[in-house]
Amino acid sequence: MPSLSQMRMVGQTCSAYEAEAEEAERSCETCVHWAGEEEDCILDIFWEQLTNLDQT
């Protein structure tokens, strides 16, 4: 499972992010696509997005 800081970083830049609540902090944890038994992105894009952040 990714760390909270990783979920925040990806949430800030993810084009597929959709907030569960209007005033939620932008993070994967507050995205409607963050679910499932494994607590991961159901669109299966989290790890790709995180890897792309590291390539500066």
Inter-residue contact 8 to 53 (CB < 8 Å)? no
Question: What domain range includes position 37?
Answer: 4-53
pTM for the predicted model, two decimal places: 0.85
Structure tokens at 52: 């792309």
Distance CA(23)–CA(1), nearest Å, equals 25
What pLDDT is recorded for position 50? 94
Structure tokens at 48: 């790709």
Q: How confident is the model at residue 1 (pLDDT cuts 50, 70, 90)?
A: confident
What pLDDT is recorded for position 55? 64
pLDDT at 18 over 70: yes
Percentage helix, strand, coil for the chain under 3-state DSSP, each rounded to 5: 40, 10, 50
**What digits encode the pLDDT tens for the residues 21-56?**
999 999 999 999 998 778 899 999 999 999 998 765
